[in-house]
């Protein structure tokens, strides 16, 4: 095994920020239940509310618009599930609209939840995207009418990094009386996000994507927006998410957000520079490489590239042997042998989609890491292509 260890899979998860680890270790003895009235409970409650204030100010929200949940997936499931709640006591019951619009490139937790909605009799419509992964705005115009209850569009794609114009899409949704949700798991902490400017009704955040702990997320719910709990049976989070609060996770997330305030802007510039070096280096040293995602409106640290005549999983494994960790797409879809639904939606063929890798850089990435990838990757692609009977015959059967 290689002695070199380079982690370039930050869109899957990030290492704990040292300051987050320090804050969580310091708080390890704070075992009180934040709902308890005694001093132990009050101390834990103060930690929870301090973190809530930190997160709210980071995205321009009020503190009572922040709900702590177990993950980004839970937050997304909460938003989609409230539209199918059959309870007569539900705030949505009397005004339920049975059409939901989302996109073909969402995270699996949105795709699978929307399939459940279909099974419950809802009409779910999927927006297409262009070759860069940008939502088809004209198609959205034709889909929107008074029957649409919710539009859900992710802010930054987890596989290709393409950013959507959420403010524009929200405006279109609201003009037609629909609520707007954005899965901002890959965006918050990487680009500036202000819920007041975006005017969204729901927004999802995950702790472990921004150097915080796993098992903690946030659902922003705009004040006055109808809401129905996904997890019931407790008064926590003002009755909107039952279950004893994950105090340590909340403390870690609050600290992670505090550090993002300090480091995000510089990091975005640095990663953009590394991405440019990587892209130019690959273009120069490897033929038949196809870059996925928008060239400008894209996360600074995300580079998705397909290689004709090379399987993504083989590239990943050879890179891993050389000490470089990348992915072939979403970590939540890693058990599937199917080509990426995101890449297929952008119009590339299944063979090329199978030949893609995602390089996602983060705060620990430095120039030496990028140079090492450029030293190693061309040889790996050459080796894999030599074993490919299709590519060795000229790659004519490999569709783009």
Closest CA to 286 of 160, 361, 374: 374
Long-range contact pairs involving 363-368 (C-beta distance under 8 Å, separation at least 24):
363/14, 363/17, 363/211, 363/263, 363/267, 364/7, 364/15, 365/8, 365/10, 365/271, 365/274, 365/301, 367/274, 367/277
| HSE-CB of 211 using CA atoms within 13 angstroms | 22
Cα distance between residue 272 and residue 10, in whole Å? 15
What's the full length of the chain, in residues? Answer: 400
Cβ neighbours around 325 below 10 Å, total: 16
Q: For this structure, is 332 an active site residue?
A: yes
Helix-, strand-, coil-residue percentages of the chain, each rounded to 5: 45, 15, 40
Q: What is the DSSP string of 200-232?
A: -SEEEEEGGGTTS-SS-EEEEE-TT-----SS-
Give the dihedral of Cα atoms 165, 139, 355, 309; nearest 10 deg: -130
85, 90, 116, 332: which is the annotated catalytic residue? 332
- Backbone CA torsion sign across 46, 234, 72, 63: negative
Active site members: 332
């Amino acid at each position: 095994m290689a002695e070199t260890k380079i982690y370039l899979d930050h869109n899957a998860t990030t290492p704990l920020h040292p300051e987050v680890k320090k804050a969580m270790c310091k708080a390890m003895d704070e075992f009180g239940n934040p709902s308890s009235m005694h001093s132990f409970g009050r101390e834990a409650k103060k930690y929870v509310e301090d973190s809530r204030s930190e997160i709210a100010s980071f995205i321009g929200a009020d503190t009572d618009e922040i709900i702590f949940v177990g993950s980004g997936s839970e937050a997304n499931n909460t938003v989609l599930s409230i539209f199918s709640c059959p309870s007569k006591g539900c705030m949505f019951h009397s005004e339920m609209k049975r059409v939901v619009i989302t996109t073909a490139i969402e995270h699996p937790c949105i795709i699978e939840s929307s399939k459940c909605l279909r099974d419950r009799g809802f009409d779910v419509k999927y927006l297409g995207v262009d070759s860069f992964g940008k939502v088809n705005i004209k198609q959205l115009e034709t889909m929107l009418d008074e029957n649409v209850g919710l539009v859900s569009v992710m802010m930054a794609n987890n596989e290709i990094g393409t950013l959507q114009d959420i403010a524009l899409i929200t405006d279109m949704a609201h003009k037609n009386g629909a609520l707007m949700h954005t899965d901002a798991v890959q965006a918050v902490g990487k680009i500036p996000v202000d819920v007041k400017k975006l005017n969204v009704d729901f927004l999802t955040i995950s702790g472990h994507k921004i150097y915080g702990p796993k098992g903690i997320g946030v659902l922003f719910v705009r004040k006055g927006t109808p809401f129905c709990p996904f997890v019931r049976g407790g008064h926590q989070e003002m009755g909107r998410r039952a279950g004893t609060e994950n105090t340590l996770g909340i403390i870690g997330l609050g600290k992670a957000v505090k550090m993002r305030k300090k480091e995000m802007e510089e990091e975005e510039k640095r990663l953009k520079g590394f991405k440019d070096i990587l892209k130019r280096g690959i273009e120069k040293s490897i033929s038949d490489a196809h870059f996925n995602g928008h060239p400008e409106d894209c996360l600074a640290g995300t580079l998705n590239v397909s290689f004709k005549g090379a399987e993504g999983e083989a590239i990943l494994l050879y890179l891993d042997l050389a000490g470089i960790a990348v992915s072939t797409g979403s970590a939540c879809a890693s058990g599937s042998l199917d080509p990426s639904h995101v890449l297929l939606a952008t119009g590339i063929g299944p063979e090329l989609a199978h030949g893609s890798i995602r390089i996602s850089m983060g705060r620990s990435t430095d120039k030496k890491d990028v140079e090492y990838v450029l030293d190693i990757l061309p040889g790996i692609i050459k080796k894999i292509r030599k074993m490919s009977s299709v590519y060795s015959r000229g790659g004519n059967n490999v569709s783009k």
